[in-house]
Chain A
Amino acid sequence: MSVHITSPAFKENAKKALADAPLQSALSKVGPGFIGRRTAAAGLLPEFDALRDSARDIKNHTLAHLDLYLERYETKVRAAGGHVHFAVDAAEARDIVTDICRRLGAKTVTKGKSMVSEEIGLNDHLAACGIEPVETDLGEYLIQIRGEAPSHIIAPAIHLNKDQVEADFRRVHAHLPPERNLSEPTALLAEARGELRQRFLQADVGITGANFLVAETGTSIIVTNEGNGDLTQTLPKAHIVLASLEKLVPTLEDVSQLLRVLARSATGQEMSVYTTFSTGPRRPEDVDGPGEYHVVILDNGRSGMLAGQLREMLRCIRCGACMNHCPVYHAVGGHAYGWVYPGPMGAVLTPSIIGIEKGANLPNASTFCGRCEEVCPVRIPLPKLMRHWREKEFERHLTPAPQRFGLGVWSFFARRGWLYRPATRLAMWGLSRLGWRAGRFSTLPLAGGWTRHRDFPAPEGDTFQAQWHARKAKRGQE
């Protein structure tokens, strides 16, 4: 389901989302919760903005030397007894993972939350290979049992309410007594904990993503609040890390800078509960831990992004602050974006991966209000990068015809002031006559999109320029 792309149908998706009452109710909680907590956390740390600069600089430095840090990282992982696999695209990454699972005779794999796993459509592929994937992050588990994709990069089930969760648990956990009380979120959490605890202990392979990879030590890092990712990687025979190549950072000090802005930007916590640094498989003296450690490094279009403006997008640390602050995300939620990455970061990243032909709606569906850039912990100029995609779309003549035509007519006049001024005078004179009595229009030809939701004010009359110059001429005569 996760590789199924509905981004071209963004408008229809959005329309459905706007009419979906439970979804709207869930979305109404996104802003107040996340925004207030982030603001409070940022306010408690006077160095927060300086840390954002530091985080940006670390990522810029790493990306400019990415080949060398990748080499260093790879050497260190191997030295620690781990394996590094490079995957050019999604299909190759899926094959690498299933090959490891098959070799180990894996029946079930537990999974920590990984957006790269969603990007490569891993769960469907594992299932098709007869290997059962079990999502262990509570939000991911909720959407897995519903057969849905995540609607947010850090809160995948943010579109659901507890009644929906209860109904799903009664359907899926049919072996539990039907009369049990699940009316409170605590009961739902306890049930998920109980169900998943067995799966953790049974799993043959654990798959997690990575928030960061450290070149200095060959370490992968995951950040969780539940502890699910940590159990996922500690208990099974093998731990597989799925990471896209821009997760690299040079040193432990560098990652500490980034961790100081990550949780504060994401959930408004000072630090997430579990920050786990993993280096290779279990050591000879260890009494627990995975016997094998594999890292799959995925490119999937990212290396190409290093060449131009889009390199800035590769600084992203997946905190979700951009979508938490986005008025469009608040209105339509994550599924409307039609692929794995929603919100402003998705609007920039998605076209890089699935192509601008399919992803063109996403960078267009922004008011350019700039709030995403204002809160981004690594200062990605998201509106500028969305505009970059709009330019690509325009250059390649992919802009929808009515829009291109409208823009063409407008620019024809705007570039010819001697035509623009009489034309606007005439148009405003006409409109002001028509709207004289009401002061506004409730329908207007060619402006149906506007007047479907709001009135359009009637112009006052003559244009400002005409009036100004008439007055000036009059003053000159006096």
Chain B
Amino acid sequence: MSSRDIVFASVRRALGVTGAEAPRRQEVDGRIAGHPRGVIPQRAQLPPAERLDLFKRMVLAAAGTLDHLQDAAVVPEAVAAYLRARNLPPALLRGADPRLADLPWHLQPTLDVWIGASDGRQLVGLSHAFAGIAESGTVVMLSGPDNPSTLNLLPDYHLVVVQAADVAGDYETVWDRVRAAYGPGEMPRTVNWITGPSRSADIEQTLLLGAHGPRSLHVLLVGEPG
């Protein structure tokens, strides 16, 4: 008997089942196919304008920073201003996301924009979020060449573009969008929910920002809710 068989036999013995019971199988199939939502907090069910306000408040509450821009066209300008204000060199690394590629970077001629995954040597990373989540001020990042996961983690400053129209109230809405994009039961290799910059309280429970991941998380929120 393989270890797998031993474990399954032991689980089934303890549960008093064979594993062949049709009603149990139906129950499990039904739950996965139906993926019922449970309790959704009231605060995650606000109308669009209030939802966006909540998202902004929650990003700040998680020690993130945020610029609300009316148009994606001003993102390069806002990025350049962000770097200047912090005395950072005018350079950043981003993925191949067309929504980032299509921005008017040429309007910021002094800004060096590199494309690819991070090897840990870049101070600033720029990503495009798949979604924002208002109830906790979370940004949702999907792995892939468009937005490599290393950009979420290695640079000291992580800048994230979030379309206001992509800000959902709750997590469940985002899962529906992931299913719509990838198919039921399918996921990109990595989904990162990021809520504020990296932190640790492991030394005397003193909360310090910038443990291993970015010391700063800056959200560039673009437009108004659709």
- A residues apposed to B, CB below 8 Å: 26, 29-30, 33, 45-47, 50-51, 53-54, 58, 61, 64-72, 76, 80, 85-88, 92, 136-139, 142, 155-158, 160-162, 165, 185-186, 188-190, 192-193, 196-197, 200-201, 215-219, 225-228, 230-231, 234-235, 245, 250-254, 256-257, 259-260, 267, 269-283, 285-289, 297, 299, 303-307
Other A-B pairs beyond A70-B7, A201-B119, 9, CB < 8 Å: A67-B8, A71-B19, A136-B212, A161-B204, A216-B185, A234-B149, A271-B62, A273-B198, A287-B95
Q: How many whole Å from B23's CB to the nearest CB in chain A? A: 10
B65 in contact (CB, < 8 A): no
Interface contact A256-B39, CB-CB below 8 Å: no
Q: Return the chain A residue nearest B135 by Cβ.
A: A270
**Which one of B25-33, B66-74, B82-90 is at the A interface?**
B25-33
B149, B194, B210 — which one has the most chain A CB atoms within 10 A of its CB?
Answer: B149
Q: How many whole Å from B34's CB to the nearest CB in chain A? A: 9
Chain B residues with Cβ under 8 A from A162's Cβ? 203-204
How far is A190 from B9 in the complex, measured between Cα atoms in Å? Answer: 49
Interface contact A235-B200, CB-CB below 8 Å: no
Q: How many whole Å from A346's CB to the nearest CB in chain B? A: 20
How far is A231 from B208 in the complex, measured between Cα atoms in Å? Answer: 19
Interface contact A285-B205, CB-CB below 8 Å: no
B107 in contact (CB, < 8 A): no
Chain B residues with Cβ under 8 A from A72's Cβ? 28, 32
Interface contact A271-B41, CB-CB below 8 Å: no
Chain A residues with Cβ under 8 A from B117's Cβ? 287-288
B6-48 contacts to A, CB under 8 A, are: 6-8, 10-15, 17, 19, 24-25, 27-28, 31-32, 35-43
Interface contact B205-A251, CB-CB below 8 Å: no
Cβ-defined partner of B212 (8 Å) among A193, A218, A272: A193
Given known contacts A68-B19, A253-B35, A289-B149, A185 and B204 CB-to-CB distance under 8 angstroms: yes
Q: How many whole Å from A377's CB to the nearest CB in chain B? A: 13
- B residues apposed to A, CB below 8 Å: 2-4, 6-8, 10-15, 17, 19, 24-25, 27-28, 31-32, 35-43, 58, 61-62, 95, 116-120, 135-138, 143-145, 148-150, 152-154, 170-172, 175, 178, 185-206, 208, 210-214
Cβ-defined partner of A281 (8 Å) among B3, B14, B62, B189: B189
Q: How many whole Å from A478's CB to the nearest CB in chain B? A: 65
How far is A201 from B187 in the complex, measured between Cα atoms in Å? Answer: 26
Interface contact B143-A286, CB-CB below 8 Å: yes
Interface contact A288-B148, CB-CB below 8 Å: yes
Q: Return the chain B residue nearest A253 by Cβ.
A: B35
Q: How many whole Å from B79's CB to the nearest CB in chain A? A: 21
Interface contact A188-B195, CB-CB below 8 Å: no
Interface contact A276-B199, CB-CB below 8 Å: no
25 residue pairs from A and B, CB less than 8 Å apart: A54-B39, A61-B31, A65-B24, A65-B28, A67-B15, A68-B25, A71-B8, A86-B4, A138-B211, A158-B205, A186-B208, A216-B185, A226-B200, A227-B198, A228-B211, A269-B195, A271-B62, A272-B195, A274-B198, A274-B213, A275-B195, A276-B192, A299-B10, A305-B14, A307-B14
Chain A residues with Cβ under 8 A from B195's Cβ? 269-275
How far is A236 from B200 in the complex, measured between Cα atoms in Å? Answer: 23
How far is A287 from B148 in the complex, measured between Cα atoms in Å? Answer: 6
